[in-house]
Amino acid sequence: MAALNERLILDMPQEAVYGQRTTAIMEADPGDDETLIWVGDGADRIAVYAEEFNALADTDFETQAREILGNFSRKGSSFETKKLNENVIYAIRKDTPQQASGADLFGIAMIRHTDGSLIRLRILFADNHIATPDKCREWAEKAICGLRIGPGVRHLKARKDKISFFNEMNFEVPVPEGYARTINPGCDFIYTSYAKLVKINAPSDYFGIYLGSHPDFEKPNGATTIKSTTAGKKATWYCFEPKEGTYAAECCVRLTSILSFDEPPVYMHLIVVAPTAEAREAQVQNLSQIKRLKRESKD
């Protein structure tokens, strides 16, 4: 089965199906940088969860992967780390949970894709499987050893993306080179984020676009401002430093009027986090170029 837009191919049983991770009602749904596969149902379910790490592998990938996997042994569980090949380092759980949690982790793998980015794979078992932990270990290891890198690619070239608010509003977003997109649709909003793929310990560099009626926006204290426009609306950017070495900016514009209680206004909330003040200002200028597209007529 293909995962992560064919960037990973998994050898799954015939009865395996694609699923979706559950979220709280006001949280965003899972985005397009993760894939969930289910085998079985209810207390007999096995979950295979692949996700983009949104980071680049270090030159010494094996040391990096073993360090990441080692963190799971320090969380009250014991894992044995193994090497499948130069691009896959994985760990199998050695101890058995004292009490089933409904999603007990028995296998985890760090994968270096051919483009140098990191992928994480986790294998979790529902309650009924805990009675046979050796079978859990065997199943998890077989699944990890059967994975292979697929032909899929992440779009990282400079481009203009189209994002939509439930097909009611469409926007053209200029995206610089090196930024990977994640789309998180919720019950009444859409959050699209763009992360620049850098090494794990490098400073954060990303921007996000929220479209919905309930933005989590407050004017930060002590911020400086930049006046601009975005999506055809006047905008005020608030620039601040949430911590040393991190340069952030936010703005929030109302896209529609308040029509009634049943139809609240729609907002665009923009967020920038950059490693330098210059990079932050460049992103502010870039996002000021967002265009609202004309609504296509329906015949």
pLDDT tens for each residue of the chain, 299 residues long: 999 989 999 999 999 999 876 554 445 545 568 999 999 999 999 999 999 998 999 999 999 999 999 998 876 789 999 999 999 999 999 999 888 899 999 999 999 999 999 999 999 999 999 999 999 999 999 999 999 999 998 888 999 999 988 878 999 999 999 999 988 888 889 999 999 999 998 998 999 999 999 999 999 999 999 999 999 999 999 999 999 889 999 999 999 876 555 678 899 999 999 999 999 999 999 999 999 998 765 54
Write out the two tokens for 8: 């990973």
The number of CA neighbours under 13 Å toward the Cβ of 237 is: 23
Give the integer Cα–Cα distance in Å for 98 and 273: 42
The domains of the chain, with CATH numbers, are 2-149 (3.40.1000), 159-292 (3.40.1000)
Give the integer Cα–Cα distance in Å for 169 and 189: 12
Which residue spans within 45-178 are E strands per DSSP? 46-56, 79-85, 88-93, 104-112, 117-125, 148-149, 159-165, 169-175
Cβ distance 95 to 76 under 8 Å? no
Give the integer Cα–Cα distance in Å for 214 and 268: 10
pLDDT at 121: 98
Give the integer Cα–Cα distance in Å for 276 and 256: 33
The pTM score is 0.85
Nearest to 89 by CA among 71, 115, 63: 63
pLDDT at 284: 97
